[in-house]
Amino acid sequence: AQSVTQLGSHVSVSEGALVLLRCNYSSSVPPYLFWYVQYPNQGLQLLLKYTSAATLVKGINGFEAEFKKSETSFHLTKPSAHMSDAAEYFCAVSESNAGGTSYGKLTFGQGTILTVHP
Amino acid sequence: DTGVSQDPRHKITKRGQNVTFRCDPISEHNRLYWYRQTLGQGPEFLTYFQNEAQLEKSRLLSDRFSAERPKGSFSTLEIQRTEQGDSAMYLCASSLRRQSTDTQYFGPGTRLTVL
């Protein structure tokens, strides 16, 4: 069964510093991977997704993530944090069959709350 | 192009009452998903539809929960005889399934509080 582990439930950075949010997945076949952001009392907004094309994926708001099969990781980074980045971030996996077709439903990690200090 | 909408945004009910939530997906999206999110946790999959067919239900979905998607458009999620443990955010997402994968777009959620 697929699973997602997000290391660090809270990450705190200074404005302008590098943001690194960690995500490791467990899947028996190459998965589809997603990062979502959630602001308080709101739904989830898609940041970026990996669908087996390029291993380095660029998303919205300056975020990017790199798929590393050997490490089963999909860490999210941003070179310079902004105050508006403060939110909760979720990594999610959609498992696929041997033919590469996604089953659809997402399995989410526990989330990482990002705090940005002035 | 409007996004996924959910109604109501907040619902407070007493234990034992029935509640129903509605989700309107993005127009022409053929898949619709329901998730539940409790405080401090990531969303957990409940069920999903492709058009009007309910294709999968999680074991989390007890007999008190039922979901429908008549005519493959909006969906409703009903909880009968609510319990305090049902208090959570209920999230709906929709997607356009094309070829091998789809990307889910989420609504703002319905926050349920059971007293």
Query: Which helix (DSSP H) or strand (DSSP E) does residue A11 occupy?
Result: strand A10-14
**For residue B28, what is the DSSP state?**
T
Stretch 21-40 of chain A: residues touching chain B, C-beta under 8 Å: 32, 34, 36
Are A90 and A35 in contact by the 8 Å Cβ rule? The answer is yes
pLDDT above 80 (res B55)? yes
pLDDT, one tens digit per residue, over A88-115 is 999 999 877 766 677 788 999 999 999 9
SS3 labels along A63-83: CEEEEEHHHCEEEEEECCCCH
Amino acid residing at B91 = L
Instruction: Report how far residue A41's alpha carbon sits from residue A86's, in angstroms, rounded to the nearest whole number.
Output: 14
Chain A nearest-CA distance from B100, in A, is 4
pLDDT value for B17 = 98
Instruction: Report how far residue A17's alpha carbon sits from residue A37's, in angstroms, rounded to the nearest whole number.
Output: 19
pLDDT above 70 (res A65)? yes
Instruction: Report how far residue A98's alpha carbon sits from residue B102's, in angstroms, rounded to the nearest whole number.
Output: 17
pLDDT band for position B40 (50/70/90)? confident
Instruction: Report how far residue B58's alpha carbon sits from residue B82's, in angstroms, rounded to the nearest whole number.
Output: 18
pLDDT value for A40 = 86
Q: Is the Cβ pair B40, A32 closer than 8 Å?
A: no
Query: Which helix (DSSP H) or strand (DSSP E) does residue A97 occupy?
Result: none
Are B84 and B106 in contact by the 8 Å Cβ rule? The answer is no
Which of B45, B56, B101 is best to mutate for the A interface (most A CBs within 10 A)?
Answer: B101
pLDDT above 70 (res B1)? no
| B38 contacts: CB under 8 Å, gap ≥ 6 | B87, B88, B89
The token duo for B78 is 């009903």
- Alpha carbon B36 to its chain's center: 7
Average pLDDT, chain B: 93
Instruction: Report how far residue B89's alpha carbon sits from residue A97's, in angstroms, rounded to the nearest whole number.
Output: 30
Mean pLDDT of B35-46: 93
pLDDT band for position A58 (50/70/90)? very high
pLDDT above 80 (res A82)? yes
pLDDT above 80 (res B100)? no
Which of A34, A44, A47, A88 is best to mutate for the B interface (most B CBs within 10 A)?
Answer: A44
pLDDT value for B47 = 95
- State the Rg of chain A over Cα: 14
Segment among A21-30, A105-114, B57-66 with least mean pLDDT: A21-30
Mean pLDDT of B46-50: 93
